[in-house]
Structure 1
Amino acid sequence: MVTEELPELRRVGIIGMGYVGLTLTAAMADKGYQVHGVDTQPAVLDSLSQGRPHIFEPGIEDVFGEWTGRRIFVSNELPEGGVDAAIICVSTPVNEAGHEPYLGNLAAAAEHIAKVCGPETLVVVRSTVPVGATRAVVLPRLLDAWGSARVVMAPERTIQGQALRELVELPQVVGGLDEESLRLGLALFGGLSAQLVPVSTLETAELVKLTNNCHTDVIYSFGNEVARYTESLGLDPLEVIRATNLDYPRPDIAKPGYVGGGCLSKDPYILISGADRANYPLPLIRAARQVNEELPVHVADRLVELIGDTEGKTVFVLGWAYKGWPPTDDMRGTPIAAMTPAFEAAGLTVLGHDPLVGAEVIRRYGGEPVDLAAGFAAADAVLVITDHPQYRALDVDSLLPGSNVTLVYDSWRVLDGSRVTGHGVRYAGLGYEPAEAGR
């Protein structure tokens, strides 16, 4: 029996230099691939061409600094002559009105590949898409241009702050249009990851990514549901959850917290959109998303109520990225976006701090950037939104004395509550509002 030798796929194009494309570019360059990154934004191209990533992710800057101009090349289009594999990593956002996914970027990427490359190129969809989109949006554009195509779907499943490690350690799921496409896809990602998971169809691979993220959204929503209930009962959700989980041989209950980011804030809607067309409404996933989206609005309303008379008052918000651990500067799905309207309606002045988010971004979201000392000195209330390590290490014994702070709302309970109340300051958190301390 003669086994057909697979072509070596070492010259790779990655279309879309957002988080998914950027991290994949770095990981593949580090593994010896020649990577041609494509983006349409001049500022992104200018920064990357100088070896300076425009997105924070541990390890990325070092890789780009080492390989830009040697293994990493960036441009507004794929190189002349095409590439061995073209990987689509463009954004697939959902609109605010109906939460329907926008697939125009996906279509444009497929059209660009069809123009520059040929049927010998392996086309990989890495973007998160509704089930069926690879076959319905990407494939027809390739077939119209080439007559035949090699196509796989290989979803990205990393977490911010650990992407470079997870890209080589996590199993890479690959679904192919046909057997030849699948073999090529496995060969491509076999040079990146030690573990491959071939699946039977493009649609199976598409649903894997959506299932991962929607399951996470549901898990987090349950912890948030518990916290909303303990708030009404006057109980401590962390005490309830710790006792629930301790040495109990069932799945752990998640700690309550905000759920945002580029994936969890939109992927449920991408799944729902496809399910609606299949006439199944996904009631659990819809409900989970509603619980998680309502949480920051609820916290903002509670903060206003706990402050009381808000006239002339100032709130100091710590944490503007959507999460603090692993640290990120990503503002997609950030809780502060949903909170700001309540603060504005109450007439509160908002000060802001984040170890990674720039001053201009804080201003864009309605806050005035300050350092920690100035924020505590000027504030009447402090709202800790993320569990960034810098906030876990806050010395409240030096920041609270002499301030006008009467309330610290510590969403993730990263501070020592007894130290806060020891200064006569009320301490609260998600689902946790003990009686006010006398001051």
Structure 2
Amino acid sequence: MAEVCVAGLGYIGLPTAAMLASQGHQVTGFDINAAAVASIKSGHPHFHEPDLQMLLSAALSTGRLKVQTDPVAADYFILAVPTPLVEGNKPDLSYVNAACDGIAPFLRVGSTVILESTSPVGTTERLCERIAAARPDLRVPRYMDVSGEFDIFVCHCPERILPGQMLRELVSNDRIIGGVTDACAQSGVALYETFVRSNLLVTDCRTAEFVKLIENASRDINIAFANELSMICDHLGIDVWDAINLANRHPRVKILQPGPGVGGHCIAVDPWFIVDSAPNLSRMIRVAREVNDRKPKSVVESVRALAKRFKRPIVSCYGLTYKADVDDLRESPALEIVHDLARTTNLNILVCEPHVRKLPPALESLSNVRLVGPDEARREADIVVFLVGHQQFRRLEANAFLNKVVVDTIGLLGGSHQRQRVIASNGLPVRTAADETEQRLSA
């Protein structure tokens, strides 16, 4: 078993550290967030993930997992830190660089550095340059140099786990291990094969970096097609859900479902890394990002248009997270929509989000926003906006919203059989609204 040091104890680093400890490795996880470290030390993850608390408690109780704010010497160093965007949709590698600088003094002959953070092509090689500058006493590998002798190994193994299913997917998903050299990749394989039960696919670090980016760009493009269809259908007065369902009856067509936009730490961010690396060659990827970034603004415009038909409208928004059945708010289009509505209008906003205990900082300071339960949200609302398809919401009775104006961005209330009470996302009724809705609008 190996000594492993994990840099970053967030959505990727903490489950990985706990999983490695469960397999008998001696793991030290470190993070600059002292509050998160304190919570983890007490056995409580600072985010919700099914079964993670149980795995974490077991790892801590055996002593195989330690958490702190500083790195230690180890056989393996896993960098699992954020790679967000800065102004102009440029990749921000400051966290990766800081983690690299933090572990550099603790590297020893035979250590392996594994970058799991999703990164632009070339990042792993730049880590090698950074380590070489910080540790001139170590021979650091160079990209595809098979003739040299090196003291450490460096590779890229992009994470592939989904919030809500992290622990299962850590074990069951294929992993790509891209080495700066083949020997670097094989050193990575030696660690991942101790807990991954699926395939370990070996390649070079540039290819591994690019594969993760194109996986998410592919999904972004397909979502953009569905979102663009939804806006076209609104313009033409067509039910997008019916149109897509009918089109998908073709044996070679599989159109995704539209939504209020695209969120999360991957799909909403990673395609921009490709655009930044090859701006003149990535036109489709750029347009898809622009379409999906535009969708939340389209929803806001629709709600504003509907609000003009009321004297003192109350808008209830169901969902804040970036996807269903998680507590993750990163890059959430639902949060963006609620924030824009509350900040730029005099609307009273009720938010129903069962996966948070309090409003996030972006909303808690706004006097016209309150966090409420689903029944109060329905009872008080003039306009209801469905933004996230949590299971709790899918159990709601559609008939309970008959006297509400509904903006259904996720198809929660179904297809054509719901047309009489669903308002399309451009604010126009798909078919003549029910009489009681009309009475309420004119009150």
The answer to whether the superposition gives a TM-score over 0.5 is yes
Counting only pairs closer than 5 Å after superposition, residues 182-197 of structure 1 correspond to structure 2 as 182-197=185-200
Q: 1:60-103 CA distances to partner (integer Å, 9 max, x unpaired)? A: 11111222142221011123xx11100000111101x2111111
CA distance in 1, matches of 2:247, 2:40: 48
Give 3-state SS (helix, strand or coil) of 1:198's partner: strand
Contact 2:83–2:96 (CA under 8 A) maintained in structure 1: yes
Contact 2:176–2:202 (CA under 8 A) maintained in structure 1: yes
1:151 aligns with 2:140: no
Q: Aligned-pair distance for 1:232?
A: 1.2
Which residue, out of 96, 99, 116, partners 2:89? 99
1:17 aligns with 2:13: no
Q: What's the counterpart of residue 298 of structure 1?
A: 298
Q: 1:130-183 CA distances to partner (integer Å, 9 max, x unpaired)? A: 1001102x1112223023331010000111111111111111100111122111
Contact 1:323–1:387 (CA under 8 A) maintained in structure 2: yes
Q: Aligned-pair distance for 1:417?
A: 7.3
Q: What's the counterpart of residue 395 of structure 2?
A: 393
Q: 1:301-352 CA distances to partner (integer Å, 9 max, x unpaired)? A: 112212333542110111011111xx11111111234323244433111111
Contact 2:247–2:253 (CA under 8 A) maintained in structure 1: no
Give 3-state SS (helix, strand or coil) of 2:278's partner: helix
Letter in 1 for 2:13: G
Give 3-state SS (helix, strand or coil) of 1:317's partner: strand
Give 3-state SS (helix, strand or coil) of 2:411's partner: coil
Contact 2:124–2:180 (CA under 8 A) maintained in structure 1: no
Give the structure-2-normalised TM-score.
Answer: 0.88
Which residue, out of 124, 128, 131, partners 1:134? 124
Which residue, out of 63, 68, 77, partners 1:86? 77
Which residue, out of 108, 114, 120, partners 1:118? 108
Contact 2:28–2:71 (CA under 8 A) maintained in structure 1: yes
CA distance in 2, matches of 1:32, 1:428: 55
1:338 aligns with 2:336: yes
Q: What's the counterpart of residue 149 of structure 2?
A: none
Give 3-state SS (helix, strand or coil) of 1:131's partner: coil
Give 3-state SS (helix, strand or coil) of 2:74's partner: coil
Q: Aligned-pair distance for 1:236?
A: 1.3
1:349 aligns with 2:348: yes
Q: Aligned-pair distance for 1:104?
A: 1.2
CA distance in 2, matches of 1:125, 1:202: 10
Give 3-state SS (helix, strand or coil) of 1:260's partner: coil
Contact 2:26–2:64 (CA under 8 A) maintained in structure 1: yes
- Note the aligned Cα RMSD (angstroms): 2.2
Give 3-state SS (helix, strand or coil) of 2:435's partner: coil
Contact 1:380–1:406 (CA under 8 A) maintained in structure 2: yes
1:73 aligns with 2:66: yes
Q: What is the identity percentage for the equivalent residue pairs of Structure 1 and Structure 2?
A: 30
236 and 83 in structure 1: CA distance in 2 versus 1, 3 angstrom threshold: same
Which residue, out of 403, 406, 409, partners 1:408? 406
CA distance in 2, matches of 1:251, 1:169: 28
Q: What's the counterpart of residue 258 of structure 2?
A: 256
Contact 1:174–1:196 (CA under 8 A) maintained in structure 2: no
1:202 aligns with 2:205: yes
Q: Aligned-pair distance for 1:29?
A: 2.5
Which residue, out of 22, 34, 41, partners 2:26? 34
Q: Aligned-pair distance for 1:418?
A: 8.5
CA distance in 1, matches of 2:242, 2:415: 14
Letter in 2 for 1:304: R
**Deviates most, 127-136 or 16-25:** 16-25
Q: What's the counterpart of residue 427 of structure 1?
A: 422
Contact 1:310–1:348 (CA under 8 A) maintained in structure 2: no
Q: Aligned-pair distance for 1:253?
A: 0.6
CA distance in 2, matches of 1:421, 1:365: 37
Contact 1:224–1:295 (CA under 8 A) maintained in structure 2: yes
Letter in 2 for 1:291: V
CA distance in 2, matches of 1:98, 1:105: 18
Letter in 2 for 1:88: L
Structure 1 segments unaligned to the other structure (5+ residues):
1-7
Letter in 2 for 1:205: A
CA distance in 2, matches of 1:283, 1:191: 41
Q: Aligned-pair distance for 1:55?
A: 1.2
Give 3-state SS (helix, strand or coil) of 1:139's partner: helix
Q: Aligned-pair distance for 1:228?
A: 1.1
CA distance in 1, matches of 2:321, 2:303: 19
Q: 1:237-261 CA distances to partner (integer Å, 9 max, x unpaired)? A: 1111111112x33251101113111
Q: What's the counterpart of residue 41 of structure 2?
A: 49
Q: What's the counterpart of residue 435 of structure 2?
A: 438
Letter in 1 for 2:94: G
Q: 1:14-58 CA distances to partner (integer Å, 9 max, x unpaired)? A: 101111112212322233322211100110000000110001111
236 and 165 in structure 1: CA distance in 2 versus 1, 3 angstrom threshold: same
CA distance in 2, matches of 1:308, 1:230: 23
Contact 1:170–1:193 (CA under 8 A) maintained in structure 2: yes
Letter in 2 for 1:357: V
Contact 2:239–2:416 (CA under 8 A) maintained in structure 1: no
